[in-house]
């Protein structure tokens, strides 16, 4: 099975009603390749999910940025996977490094959240990635493998999960990974999937890159054989620039 190019926009904890409407209007007016060629998913904060759902073009999809680890109930402040399903939100981002590091989400919690969200019918963008110190000490592959393993050992079906490699040192810093740094980790992750899960899952699972992606650096990254798309942070809040990122796969091939 081929891997359709995937472009996600993670708006993080940003935006007002007016700003969100402006972003959606710009995205709605953008000329981009068809959804057969590239899958586009935007991820607004919870409070804007319904509004974005009602305004966004229907060839683009929507992700929440987190959800509760199990069935909802007496968990003040949390939003459950069932609620997202009920709202018609098909995707959720889990394990983003900002949650792992600032909110102490462990590999196990991220694995449990991923398994629960998938069991409720959500699609998951599961994030992994090393810190600068971990890269400097040579433990990048061990870190991303341990993060992936904690997810993998809780799943049996891989068709509804996209893995996002987001090196922490590249997020919001302007220090994008070089194409070869990204390709090295993506190909190791694919090899890990091959050796630990199976050849078919390794060949069909999309591994996307996140960390200071913009219209100028996306082409070289996307040309890497194991880079199947992006999770874009800051640049996704400037949607005039987004079509350049979404547009990338069109001239080459849509499916790897
Ligand atoms: O964290 C990211 C996407 O989830 C990347 O953020 P930036 O694109 O702002 O570096």
| pLDDT, tens digit, 9 for 90 and up, residues 153-211 | 999 999 999 999 999 999 999 999 999 999 999 999 999 999 999 999 999 999 999 99
Distances (CA, A) of 18 to 24, 48, 61, 90, 95: 10, 11, 20, 24, 29
Residue 39 known to be catalytic: no
| pLDDT, tens digit, 9 for 90 and up, residues 3-57 | 999 999 999 999 999 999 999 999 999 888 888 889 999 999 999 999 999 999 9
What average pLDDT does this structure show over 79-83? 98
DSSP codes, 103-140 = S---HHHHHHHHHHHHHTT-EEEEEE---HHHHHTT-H
Instruction: Mention every residue, 6+ apart, whose C-beta is less than 8 A from residue 214.
Output: 176, 232, 234, 235, 241, 245
- Parallel, antiparallel, or unpaired for β 207-210 and 161-165? parallel
- How many angstroms separate the alpha carbon of residue 210 from the centre of ligand 1? 6
Catalytic one among 39, 98, 130, 166?
166
Q: What is the pLDDT confidence band of residue 252, given thresholds at 50, 70 and 90?
A: very low
Q: What percentage of the chain has pLDDT greater than the value 90?
A: 88
Phi, psi for 188 (deg, rounded to 5): -65, -40
- Does the structure show a pLDDT above 50 at 251? no
H or E segment and range at residue 161? strand 161-165
> Cα(24)–Cα(167) distance, rounded to whole angstroms?
28
Q: Which of 107-116, 190-199, 228-237, 245-254 shows the lowest per-residue confidence on average (mean pLDDT)? A: 245-254
Task: Pick the atom of ligand 1 nearest to 12's CA.
Answer: 4
Looking at every residue in the chain, the average pLDDT score rounds to 94
H or E segment and range at residue 10? strand 5-10
CATH label, 5-247, candidates 3.90.180.10, 3.70.10.10, 3.20.20.70, 3.40.50.300: 3.20.20.70
Query: Is any ligand 1 atom within 6 A of the Cβ of residue 232?
Result: yes
**ipTM of model over 0.85:** yes
Give yes or no for a contact between 206 and 231, defined as CB atoms under 8 angstroms apart: no
Pocket perturbation via mutation, ligand 1, pick of 95, 132, 211 by most ligand atoms within 8 A of CB: 211
- Does the structure show a pLDDT above 60 at 253? no
Would you list the domain boundaries of the chain?
5-247
Q: Residue with the nearest Cα to atom 8 of ligand 1?
A: 233
Q: What is the pLDDT confidence band of residue 238, given thresholds at 50, 70 and 90?
A: confident
Task: Pick the atom of ligand 1 nearest to 96's CA.
Answer: 4
């Amino acid at each position: 099975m081929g891997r359709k190019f995937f472009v996600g926009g993670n708006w993080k904890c940003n935006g007002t009603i007016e700003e969100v409407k402006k972003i959606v209007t710009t995205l709605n007016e953008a000329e981009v390749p068809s959804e057969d060629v590239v899958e586009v998913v935007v991820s607004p904060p919870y409070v804007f999910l319904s509004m974005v759902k009602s305004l966004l073009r229907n060839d683009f999809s929507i992700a929440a940025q987190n959800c509760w680890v199990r069935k909802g109930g007496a968990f003040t402040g949390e939003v459950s996977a069932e609620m997202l399903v009920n709202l018609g939100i098909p995707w959720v981002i889990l394990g983003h490094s900002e949650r792992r590091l600032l909110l102490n989400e462990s590999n196990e919690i991220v694995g449990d959240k991923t398994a629960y969200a998938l069991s409720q019918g959500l699609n998951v963008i599961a994030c992994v990635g090393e810190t600068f110190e971990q890269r400097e000490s040579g433990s990048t592959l061990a870190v991303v493998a341990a993060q992936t393993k904690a997810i993998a050992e809780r799943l049996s079906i891989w068709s509804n999960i996209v893995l996002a490699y987001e090196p922490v040192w590249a997020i919001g810093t302007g220090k994008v990974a070089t194409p070869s740094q990204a390709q090295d980790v993506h190909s190791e992750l694919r090899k890990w999937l091959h050796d630990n899960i199976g050849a078919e899952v390794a060949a069909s699972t999309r591994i996307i890159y996140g960390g200071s992606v913009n219209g100028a650096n996306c082409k070289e990254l996307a040309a890497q054989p194991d880079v199947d798309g992006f999770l874009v942070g800051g640049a996704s809040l400037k949607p005039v620039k987004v079509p350049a990122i979404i547009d990338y796969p069109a001239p080459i091939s849509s499916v790897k």
